[in-house]
Structure 1
């Protein structure tokens, strides 16, 4: 009897925690992708200073908008005096709808991973 209760509790924890685990993994992956972009850009005005890779969720960062599932849907970096190149890791932002980069000095090719 004890074994069945223990197994039931374990199964319940897996079912309840699974959606949270998936959100954390997705958020970490997206945070890592955005941090790769930050590491590849010169940011003289510290516009990206809130992009802290130790935070679980990039949805708390300035210039990042997420949907209800805590997935990045928008990155607004227009007119931020950034320079450098885009990174292929941006392709990991599967729900990204807007990437605003106007009035910066970003050079190089648009990574094919962005699906363009």
Structure 2
């Protein structure tokens, strides 16, 4: 069984963010399907909400969203675009691409 690429969603159990983390996992699995080898929920503490990806078995993990850095939870279109850029750069996300560009402050194409 391959676990490539592997997405990890670390969430704060003290803050009761498991539901949010599982919703994000569901959305990523729905969008990327078999392009992902695994989406893991990782319990943490201290207000953590971090999404990281390991593109393949030998690669280093890349953080694509960290609530402590971004000062906010991810908007799904923005998160999907960041994940797509790492695991499936040729994948068109349709309306999600437009929403992600707006969230990043870029004009619509």
TM-score, normalized by length of structure 1? 0.38
Q: Structure 1 or 2: larger strand share?
A: 2
Larger RCO (CA under 8 A, 6+ residues apart): 2
Q: With structure 2 as the length reference, what TM-score do the two structures score?
A: 0.39
